Amino acid sequence: MVTRRKQKSPRRLEAERHDQIGIEHYNAGRYAETEIAWRAAAAADPGWDEPPFSLGVLYKWQGRWSEALASSRHALALNPQNQGALWNTGIAATALRDWQAARAAWTGYGIELPPGEGEIRAFAITTPIRLDADSGEEVVWTRRIDPARAVITSVPLPESGRRHGDIVLHDGEPKGERMLGERTVAVFNMLGLWRASREITFRCRVYAHGAHDSAVLERMLGRAGCASEDMSNIRMLRRQCSEGLVHEQHDHDRPDPRWNPNRRLLIATRSPKRLRLALKQWARREATREVVSLRQDLPRLPRQVARRLPVKK
């Protein structure tokens, strides 16, 4: 028996034409033209879920959360099996602090949540987040607290405009991997800031004669309520490496095995007074220790850059 392929309607053909035009604009970074084309696709075939889903993706990456929620819900109404639209509904609802809608989306996706009606705090998962999907360079460690949010536990580079303790929104599509002990964990791209931390970021240069001196400083800073990162041996990864699995074979990311007493630190704190006291006490205890410089780098207004959105297949 010969099965005939169902012929596409003129409406669907016209909608697909606009959809393809939208994809071409999107991948070229022409987002205003993208929106016009995908709206035309939705108007040409109102029963097709792909255009409102694509618009939801566009609005998500632009931080237009009310429109992202409406478009994703529209796609779901047309096709309840559209899992991408369901996930984006959860992200947009979380961004808008619409916990009822967020809970419904995550539960519909099959994620178990603790009972309740308010803010979701379902996880405590160590997760790497890429702060800038454009450069792909800086990936920080976070504590993921629900399917769309994570608390930054690293001290990010001040150039990112992000702080230790920031709660950030992140996408659900893995973009690369990192090693966490003996296992690999997925990297997710940050979508935006959900709630800002009150911590201040400092750059600090110290002279630590040996690794023991550096370890003592880290402990003293921790007792003073400060988070710190030793940036002395950190090198930024090329984008193609950042989106892959980072391990010991990346020569450009391998720390220098020889101890360098000149250490460069990033320190986050809510109390500059306690930070300065901890540094002073550390340096006083040994003649081979010195605080060379301490400079506040955040808070300040982050540099505004135009975001280029991920390529759409």
pLDDT in tens, 237-268: 444 444 555 543 333 344 446 899 999 999 99
pLDDT level of residue 313 (50, 70, 90 thresholds):
low
12 is written with which tokens? 């669907």
Quote the mean pLDDT of the chain. 90
For the whole model, what pTM was predicted?
0.87
pLDDT score recorded for residue 252: 38
Residue with tokens 């409102």: 52
**Crossing angle, helix 99-109 and helix 83-95, to 10 degrees?**
150
Main-chain dihedrals φ then ψ at residue 200, nearest 5 degrees: -105, 135
pLDDT above 80 for 271: yes
pLDDT score recorded for residue 132: 87
pLDDT level of residue 234 (50, 70, 90 thresholds):
low
- Distance, in Å, from the CA atom of 165 to the CA atom of 157, rounded to the nearest integer, reads 13
Per residue, the 3-state secondary structure of the chain, as one string, reads CCCCCCCCCHHHHHHHHHHHHHHHHHHCCCHHHHHHHHHHHHHHCCCCCHHHHHHHHHHHHHCCHHHHHHHHHHHHHHCCCCHHHHHHHHHHHHHCCCHHHHHHHHHHHCCCCCCCCCCCCCCCEEEEEECCCCCCCCEEEEEEEECCEEEECCCCCHHHCCCCCCEEEECCCCCCEEEECCEEEECEEEEEEEECCCCEEEEEEEEECCHHHHHHHHHHHHHCCCEEEECCCCCCCCHHHHCCEECCCCHHHCCCCCCCCEEEEEEEECCHHHHHHHHHHHHHHCCCEEEEEEEEEECCCCCCCCCCCCCCC
Beta-sheet pairing, 125-130 with 139-146: antiparallel
Whether residue 82 contacts residue 49, with contact meaning beta carbons closer than 8 Å, is answered with yes
